[in-house]
Structure 1
Amino acid sequence: MGVEYVSRVPRPPLDGLIDDLYYLEGAPPYARLTLPASPAAFLIVNLGAPFRIRAGTDIETTEYADGCVVTTPSRALEFGYPPWTRSVGVHFKPWGPAPFLPMPAAELCDRPVSLEQAWGRPAIAELRDRLATAKGPYEMLTLIEEELMRRLCETAGLGLVRHTSRIIAATSGAAAIDDLRVSAGVSSTHLARRFKELVGVTPKRLARAYRFTATVLSINPAEPIDWADLANSAGYFDQAHFGHEFRAFTGLTPTRYVEVRRRFLREHPGHVLDGWPLPAD
């Protein structure tokens, strides 16, 4: 069986923090999926059997029963799925989770927390019950949107981080960090501190993620790839630098990445999850 995936953009002001709300149910294409690091954050409310996340080879795999919150990662995450998964989630913009979290985003960088740790057991138990008894995906998305609207709070420095992040995004990470500081009218130290608090990574690291993501998404795995030309056009110093970034963000070499992407396309053509997650088996 396939996977049912439903998504929509939330209403203002949530649309300034969130790319989309989604519902996912079905059998995952692989028991383990690698999610390369990207300029994104997300929240998962789990309605099925527990799933597992491993954030790097030096961190133990953690099981999540109620769901989790992931701020902008600096390296690939490995997800382990049950045979059937069901969840409601939120794809945040890099600065998006901050108004909903009781802790600085830096504390969550590459260390996802459970929803119980973020919002408390009673609140999450009630939310999961309401979602589980909803009449369908669209009602579920309305419920999670209402929960987010209720939890939305003022966050110091959010305007600064959002403004600077949008410049980084608009230039696919090519904006000079010193120019960003000047545009923001603050010191480099202040800007970096705000980013760590609200995004989890520095402006420089976020810019690297935007550049890498734009470069990877431009790759057509079905065609021959001139890696030197791709690295040059993306603004990397040389092909070696490009290869280093690939390993840092995916845990794979460029050629191995394409092999894995081709495997996904070959084994699950047209799958709703194709495009970013990679089989880890």
Structure 2
Amino acid sequence: MEYVGRVPAPPLDRFIDDIYCLTGVPRHRLMNVPPMPSAHLFINLGGPTRLWDSDPAVPPAVFAGGWFMGVWTRRFLFEYPERVRLVGVHFKPWGISPFVDMPADELRNRWVPVDAVWQRSVDRIRNQVGDLASATETLRALEEELRSRLAEVPSRGLDLVQHTGGRLESSHGVVPVSVLADSAGVSGNHLATQFRSHVGVTPKRVARIYRFARLIVSVNALRPVDWSELAHTAGYFDQAHFIREFKDFTGHTPTEYLALRRRFPAEPGFPPDSGPMPAD
């Protein structure tokens, strides 16, 4: 498959890491996705996509149009169609808030049809890009839609969450939440309340996800991996806790995950998050 992505122009870049277009025949159709510091928007321009929660009590879903996903605190699985044509958005953890008129905690660990949030937008985007539009044209149409949906006045507390969330992002989750609250001049409870409203989870949870993401990105499957050193660098100081969280987030032990990465190396040209993996 081909991945074409870019950072959108200001002011969208304050809330979005990248917008991207994914096209072609997938090398692996069933993918396992650990928690990552992102919320998502997917507009499906190809065949239906299937999704499964790692919680077996949650029924699977099939999307032929598009769907929003908030921040996930557990892994999920999705199955590509035989041929993929999809345009998507990687929002920063707090970035979805000014684009949707609903509390972010209602999107936590959930997928919601796009048309339930942005009425009739999927058909409009499909009509704009048609069947033969280039990736550049498709991304331009999506960026225009996002710009039209961005709230003119930030909702209460978003500036605080954006500022403190930015510090978690730049520190890879190692700044203590108490330090963030003190430097912002607010209580820890107030900060947690604003994060739940705009991110869907507490700042401690966001920090955990950033810490895990840093570790995953640090794994070089082509070389021997010193898991203790990587875990310590990422801010894990309890080896047993690290192993439990790693298996909870990926479904694998570190050794099993490394073997899977070596069996199924990332496709060239994809962003180096090394998060989604074939479901073996």
TM-score range for the pair, normalised by the shorter chain length: over 0.9
Q: Which residue of structure 2 lines up, in the alignment, with residue 51 of structure 1?
A: 49
Q: Which residue of structure 1 lines up, in the alignment, with residue 70 of structure 2?
A: 71
1:114-172 Cα distance to aligned partner (Å, 9 max, x none): 1112112x232222222235632111111111111111103221110000001111111
User: Does residue 1:33 correspond to 2:21, yes or no?
Assistant: no
Q: Which amino acid aligns with 1:182?
A: D
Structure 2, unpaired ranges of 5+: none
TM-score by length of 1: 0.93
Q: Which residue of structure 2 lines up, in the alignment, with residue 94 of structure 1?
A: 93
Q: Which residue of structure 2 lines up, in the alignment, with residue 277 of structure 1?
A: 276
Give the 3-state SS of the residue equivalent to 2:51 in structure 1: strand
Pair 1:123–1:271, CA change in 2 (3 A):
closer
User: Does residue 1:146 correspond to 2:144, yes or no?
Assistant: yes
Q: Which residue of structure 1 lines up, in the alignment, with residue 260 of structure 2?
A: 260
| 8 A contact 2:228–2:239 mirrored in 1 | yes
Q: Which residue of structure 1 lines up, in the alignment, with residue 229 of structure 2?
A: 229
| 8 A contact 1:134–1:140 mirrored in 2 | no
1:205-242 Cα distance to aligned partner (Å, 9 max, x none): 00001111111211111222222333233332321111
Q: Which amino acid aligns with 1:27?
A: V
Alpha-carbon distance in structure 1 between the residues aligned to 2:103 and 2:261: 34
| 8 A contact 1:32–1:80 mirrored in 2 | yes
1:55-83 Cα distance to aligned partner (Å, 9 max, x none): 22332211111111111211112111111
| Cα offset, 1:253, TM superposition | 1.2
User: Does residue 1:110 correspond to 2:109, yes or no?
Assistant: yes
5 Å-filtered alignment, 1:131-210, equals 131-133=129-131, 135-153=133-151, 154=153, 155-210=155-210
Alpha-carbon distance in structure 2 between the residues aligned to 1:208 and 1:269: 27
Pair 1:110–1:263, CA change in 2 (3 A):
same
Alpha-carbon distance in structure 1 between the residues aligned to 2:268 and 2:132: 29
Q: Which amino acid aligns with 2:159?
A: G
Pair 1:69–1:131, CA change in 2 (3 A):
same
| Cα offset, 1:272, TM superposition | 2.9
1:29-68 Cα distance to aligned partner (Å, 9 max, x none): 2120011111111111100111011122332211111111
1:79-100 Cα distance to aligned partner (Å, 9 max, x none): 1111111011111111111111
Give the 3-state SS of the residue equivalent to 2:216 in structure 1: helix
Q: Which residue of structure 2 lines up, in the alignment, with residue 4 of structure 1?
A: 2
User: Identical aligned pairs, as a percentage?
Assistant: 45
Alpha-carbon distance in structure 2 between the residues aligned to 1:104 and 1:40: 16
User: Does residue 1:23 correspond to 2:36, yes or no?
Assistant: no
Alpha-carbon distance in structure 1 between the residues aligned to 2:183 and 2:108: 26
TM-score by length of 2: 0.93
Query: Cα RMSD between the aligned structures?
Result: 1.7
| Cα offset, 1:269, TM superposition | 5.6
| 8 A contact 2:105–2:197 mirrored in 1 | yes
Alpha-carbon distance in structure 1 between the residues aligned to 2:132 and 2:161: 36
Give the 3-state SS of the residue equivalent to 1:229 in structure 2: helix
Alpha-carbon distance in structure 1 between the residues aligned to 2:87 and 2:116: 18
| 8 A contact 1:45–1:88 mirrored in 2 | yes
Paired residues in the alignment total 276
| Cα offset, 1:264, TM superposition | 1.1
